[in-house]
Amino acid sequence: MPSTLQEIPTLFAKYKVAKNILDRISIWNGDITRLQIDAIVNAANSRLAGGGGVDAAIHRAAGKTELQRECRQYDGCAVGEAVITSACKIEHVKNIIHTVGPQVYSSLKSSDREKLVNCYRNSLELAKENGLKSLAFCCISTGVYGYPNDDAAESVGDFLTKYLAENENIERIVLVTFLFIDYELYHEYFANFAENF
């Protein structure tokens, strides 16, 4: 729809806000342990015991014995919460943030969505407390824990765009995908965000 000249300053201000958010988000398909970044966020289990999937890849890269020793300082981690350790042997990363996503058994509940968003919020708050400015998130819960990929991309996208608008301390968030479906869903989400902001 054509805009009047009077609308241009408002449109320009909106554009600047959207650009500031989008400039700080990347989508990258690959192994999260290969990124050079302040912190990587692990999809851990509540015992912080090391499991399969991305958790196994992170424990392998960090050194299983070393990372498990650090995880034992905590009495596990509740769903939606997050804890922090060093990155042990991963030299190009400062810290690992471990968060526990919800497990979705049959149909998705709104409480599952809240828990998933809490994983992202609490990881970002831990990053802030520890002066970490760049974070890479794997697609928490969308593997073995069964959270639907499309709802995760939308809920995470909605949350992160709002969070970045309100928190200038975070300089970069990398959304790390491993499966092409997640890569596509994130691209779709952010293309739509840019168009409709």
Query: CA 140, CA 144: separation in Å to the nearest integer?
Result: 10
CB of 103 to ligand ADP, least distance (A): 8
Q: Residue 48 to residues 14, 45, 97, 105, 160: CA-CA distances in angstroms?
A: 42, 5, 11, 21, 25
Instruction: Give the residue, chosen from 55, 70, 81, 112, that forms a contact with ligand ADP under the rule CB under 6 A.
Output: 55
Say whether residue 140 binds ligand ADP (CB under 6 A).
Answer: yes
Say whether residue 138 binds ligand ADP (CB under 6 A).
Answer: yes
| Contacts for 65 with CB less than 8 Å, ≥ 6 apart | none
Say whether residue 155 binds ligand ADP (CB under 6 A).
Answer: no
Query: CA 77, CA 71: separation in Å to the nearest integer?
Result: 10
Say whether residue 97 binds ligand ADP (CB under 6 A).
Answer: no
Query: CA 1, CA 139: separation in Å to the nearest integer?
Result: 36
Say whether residue 11 binds ligand ADP (CB under 6 A).
Answer: no
Instruction: Give the residue, chosen from 21, 27, 43, 127, that forms a contact with ligand ADP under the rule CB under 6 A.
Output: 43
Query: CA 164, CA 171: separation in Å to the nearest integer?
Result: 9
CB of 129 to ligand ADP, least distance (A): 23
Say whether residue 183 binds ligand ADP (CB under 6 A).
Answer: no
Query: CA 109, CA 113: separation in Å to the nearest integer?
Result: 7
CB of 193 to ligand ADP, least distance (A): 21
Q: Is 136 strand, coil or helix? A: strand
Say whether residue 32 binds ligand ADP (CB under 6 A).
Answer: yes
CB of 166 to ligand ADP, least distance (A): 26
Residues near ligand ADP (CB under 6 A): 31-32, 43, 53-55, 57, 101, 138-145, 176, 178-179, 182
